[in-house]
Amino acid sequence: MYDSYNRKIQYLRVSVTDRCNFRCAYCMPAQGVKMLSHDEILSYEEFLRIIRILSNHGVKKIRLTGGEPLVRKGIIPFIRDIAALQAITDISMTTNGSLLAAMAEKLKAAGLTRVNISLDTINPKQFRQITRGGDLAQTLQGIEAALAVGLTPVKLNIVLTNMITEQDIAYFVDFIHREPVSVRFIEYMPIGESATGPGPSIEEIKTMINSFGRGKLKPTIDICGNGPAKYYDLPQAKGSFGFITPISEHFCGVCNRIRLTADGKFKPCLLSNQEIDVKTALRNGASDDKIAELFYQTIAKKPQGHTLTNPDEPTQFFRRMSQIGG
């Protein structure tokens, strides 16, 4: 299915919960955000029905996100049910990795293809500070487990904040030489206030990487993904670096996705307040065709691009990242 700007939409990001065991300083306030009640959240049966219908209308790739997707009970049978849908070719997950070590094997067996794991610093103290209580060791164990069971390619997500140091970059340069991981740096998107200061720019990160005497970054092709990162490698590395630049060089022209929130709203764009209520239709007995129609309406509403950098169009967002899933 193509949208009004000739972009092919075949990817659905599903936020299975708004809950999270972290409180990352760039994602939500220290006190957290008001949680949805049990009734407000779609059941797995409801999610599955929507995914099944959309899979008959061109959706092939599903990403499970949150909040933190691994805190919601029943995620493993849910993945098994998605994997049983013939048209779905890629089921990935974005996770903070803290609960992954114990679940990786079962997730893989259920049909999860791969994981992207957030890891903003490798300094345990800074990690605890930025996640407001997270344990770095658990996330590192999660990454190891993902590699060990083949939830690959494993990609790491690092939001650029003032917490990132040269030691982090040195660690990541070493890490991509040791492991076939992709380490991605992401520009902070101001959709709520951040409790961290601005970090280095992508150009500064590239300069730092190039200064470690391990060769210079060279553009390379996408490594199995559907997303906006641009990838680079170093001469002897098993892995790669990726850069996600929603602000300095946005990628809206190739946007291929819509989103489904935990409380049953389709979102045409991450950085817009527009939503289409699918839950009410679902709970009022809507037919499969009616649900598909809401999907087409969502695609029709996809904006050409976000307006974050346009000073004439200030946008106040009513959802935080954790309520959308990134």
Ligand X SMILES: C[S@@+](CC[C@H](N)C(=O)[O-])C[C@H]1O[C@@H](n2cnc3c(N)ncnc32)[C@H](O)[C@@H]1O
Distances, alpha carbon 308 to alpha carbons 49, 207, 249, 250, 302, in Å: 34, 26, 12, 10, 15
CA gap 304, 313 in Å, rounded:
14
205 binds, among ligand GTP, ligand SF4, ligand X, none (CB under 5 to 8 A by kind): none
Asked whether residue 224 is marked as a ligand-binding residue, the answer is no
- Kindly state the smallest distance separating residue 222's Cβ from ligand GTP, in Å: 7
259 close to 266: Cβ distance less than 8 angstroms? yes
Our CB check for ligand SF4 shows the closer of 92 and 96 to be 96
What does the block give as tokens for 49?
A: 């029905």
Nearer to ligand X, 53 or 119 (CB): 119
Give the one entry of ligand SF4, ligand GTP, ligand X, none that residue 188 binds, where binding means its C-beta sits below a cut-off of 5 to 8 angstroms depending on kind: ligand X
Helices (H) and strands (E) in the chain, counts: 9, 12
What's the CA angle centered on 111, arms 87 and 242, to 5 degrees? 90
Q: Using the rule CB under 6 A, is 160 a contact of ligand GTP? A: no
Please state, in angstroms and rounded to a whole number, the distance separating the CA atoms of residues 177 and 164.
20
Q: Is 258 annotated as a binding residue?
A: yes
118 annotated to a ligand binding site: yes
Minimum distance, C-beta of residue 236 to ligand X, in the bound complex (Å): 27
Angle of helix 100-110 versus helix 136-149 axis, rounded to 10: 30
Q: Rounded to the nearest whole angstrom, what is the least distance from the CB of residue 19 to ligand X in the complex?
A: 10
- Three-state SS for 100-129 is HHHHHHHHHHHCCCEEEEECCCCCHHHHHH
Cβ atoms < 10 Å from Cβ of 74 = 10
Residue 239 or 325 with smaller CB distance to ligand X? 325
User: Which residue's structure tokens are 């040195």?
Assistant: 170
80 assigned binding-site residue? no
Q: Which residues of the chain form contacts with ligand X (CB under 6 A)?
A: 20, 26-27, 65-68, 94-96, 118, 157, 159, 186, 188-189, 191, 321-322, 325-326
Question: Using CB atoms, what's the residue nearest to ligand X?
Answer: 326
Q: Which does 237 bind (CB under 5 to 8 A by kind): ligand GTP, ligand X, ligand SF4, none?
A: none
| 94 in a known ligand binding site | yes
Using CB under 6 A, which of 225, 239, 264, 268 touches ligand GTP?
Answer: 225
Give the Cα separation of 244 and 302 in Å (integer): 20
Binding residues for ligand GTP (CB under 6 A): 63, 65, 92, 94, 116, 155, 157, 186, 225-229, 244, 246, 255, 257, 270-271, 326
Which parts are annotated binding residues for S-adenosyl-L-methionine? 26, 67, 118, 189
